[in-house]
Structure 1
Amino acid sequence: MEQDLPHRSVALIVGVTGMVGLSLAEALKKPTAQGGPWKVYGSARRSIPSWFPSSITDHYIAFDAMNSDDTMEKLSPISNQVTHVFWVAIQVRETEEANIAVNTTMLANVLNYMGPIFDPILANQLLPPEPPFQEDSPRLSFPNFYYALEDLLSSYSPSITYSIHRSSIIVGASSRSFYNALLTLSVYATICKYQGSPFRYPGTKYTWNHFCDMSDARVLAEQQIWAAVSEGAKNQAFNCTNGDVFTWKSLWKVLCEIFEVEFVPFDENEEFDWVEEMNKKGEVWDAIVAQYGLYKTELNEINCFGALNAVLHFRFQHVCSMNKSRKFGFFGYADTLESIRMWVERLREMKIIP
């Protein structure tokens, strides 16, 4: 099939307007992209947003993966071209069982044509293996939509090969990612500065001082492309983090510098419900958007205060091992604190934050 195509590889990115989807499209269109040159079909449920650089996809397709007829209609015309599907789409429901149902339905609809979600009920029951987390750690005893997707993929073997990429907290730029921790923190800092209120750390003393890791969307994109074209990476699962660790204390100092707000040392005696407090700031965010001429967003559409709050109250160090990835030949990395600065600048360039 490749001999009949003008491009060596043809990618379909499902969820291209999310943080990882954007980075994937940009990475695939680089002249140096492994397996290239690539033709890139980008897809998402809604029309393309104004901040999205349309030049990084050859074609954009809007379709609802929950609707099998719509999926078939929109994707059938390219089904004989696509060599690689990059699945970075997600929908979020109130329970993990509902997450499993909706996300497996979407993936099955796409495959038929050719990781844990934040659940408030399960949040306080999470008992992870000892860090650093390994790819061969046993599954948790709770429902998890990632497991369902992995099982669905394996059921198609050997007719297709696949790779699984387990990220940490993803750092990237988009207004359409359900779990954009950096955008959530940026909105929080912006509102604090706008109202002259202190930019207080809403987590615990444990997370303030202990290690955590993150996944730059560019590193995650590079790893997915590497695995897609590397024979030895087929049907394998890989962790994907930046390769370094940070403390929330150090990250908070960086955020204070970026947003020009005063650094407030953590005080464990000063508890406050930032989730409830920030969820009441919709009108304040509307005023900020109007004043600075930002891309139109609703506060409840771009924040993940609840999910991030759970992370900031972890009772364990969230650190993943990258040993397997290195052994298989992937050496991508990023400096997390430098990533924070770069992605905030991208959010500003995209007019998502001031």
Structure 2
Amino acid sequence: MKTILVAGAVGVIGRAILEHYEQKKDVRVIGLSRRRPEFKTRAEHISVDLLDKADTASKLGTVDGTTHIVYAAYKELPTRHELVAPNLAMLCNIVKTVEQTSPSLQHVTLMQGGKAYGCHLGPFPTPAREDDPRHISPNFYYDQEDFLRVHSVGKQW
């Protein structure tokens, strides 16, 4: 049985992911967010502050058997410079904690939006492609991608 952690479970993307997986009978779905969902869901829920490394370790340290992380959490801040540290920290905290408790981790999905292509900077080539050159930094998506690329080396996921 798959166990899927959905970070950012009460956001637009996270909710859609919960709704998708909760239809499947062979999947245990656990939503992660600071606040409880205000919508009906069969998914389990853990209230956790992913920015807080200790809270993340405490709350997720009891969840074993996680096979998948779907990361859709996001911390909004006024400038693109300010977005990097907290959005990277949340991803690092969840991945490093889950690795400690779930050797069965198979896959990490990083959900991204238009900012990955530079839509917040003005016009960009369309259709946008995953292999398009990166635009001018900083962009927290790049830091998250780089973390996963480096951190996943030699891992099963």
Range into which the TM-score falls when normalised by the shorter chain: 0.7 to 0.9
* 8 A contact 1:13–1:42 mirrored in 2: yes
CA-CA distance at 1:160 after TM superposition: 4.8
Matched, 1:109 2:104: no
Provide the C-alpha distance between the structure 2 equivalents of 1:139 and 1:39, rounded to a whole number of angstroms: 36
Percent of aligned positions with the same letter in both sequences? 28
* 8 A contact 1:42–1:61 mirrored in 2: yes
Per the alignment, in what secondary structure is the counterpart of residue 43 of structure 1? strand
TM-score when normalising by structure 2: 0.81
Per the alignment, in what secondary structure is the counterpart of residue 6 of structure 2? strand
* 8 A contact 1:43–1:63 mirrored in 2: yes
TM-score when normalising by structure 1: 0.37
* Structure 1 letter corresponding to 2:34: R
- Poorly superposed stretches of 4+, deviation over 4 Å: none
* 8 A contact 1:29–1:37 mirrored in 2: no
Per the alignment, in what secondary structure is the counterpart of residue 99 of structure 1? helix
Provide the C-alpha distance between the structure 2 equivalents of 1:68 and 1:89, rounded to a whole number of angstroms: 15
2:62 to 49, 66, 77: 77
The aligned counterpart of 2:104 is none
Matched, 1:54 2:41: yes
Report which of the two structures shows the higher radius of gyration computed on alpha carbons.
Answer: 1
CA-CA distance at 1:127 after TM superposition: 5.3
1:126 to 122, 127, 130: 122
The aligned counterpart of 2:105 is none
* 8 A contact 2:88–2:140 mirrored in 1: yes
CA-CA distance at 1:27 after TM superposition: 1.1
Deviations 1:8-48 (A, max 9, x none): 211000111111111111111224xxxx6100111101233
Matched, 1:15 2:2: no
Provide the C-alpha distance between the structure 2 equivalents of 1:131 and 1:14, rounded to a whole number of angstroms: 29
Pair 1:28–1:92, CA change in 2 (3 A)? same
How many positions carry a matched residue from both structures?
Answer: 140
Deviations 1:200-257 (A, max 9, x none): xxxxxxxxxxxxxxxxxxxxxxxxxxxxxxxxxxxxxxxxxxxxxxxxxxxxxxxxxx
Matched, 1:26 2:19: yes
* 8 A contact 2:50–2:90 mirrored in 1: yes
Aligned positions of 1:227-246 closer than 5 A: none
Provide the C-alpha distance between the structure 1 equivalents of 2:90 and 2:134, rounded to a whole number of angstroms: 23
* 8 A contact 2:7–2:14 mirrored in 1: yes
Matched, 1:41 2:41: no
Aligned positions of 1:310-325 closer than 5 A: none
The aligned counterpart of 1:139 is 134
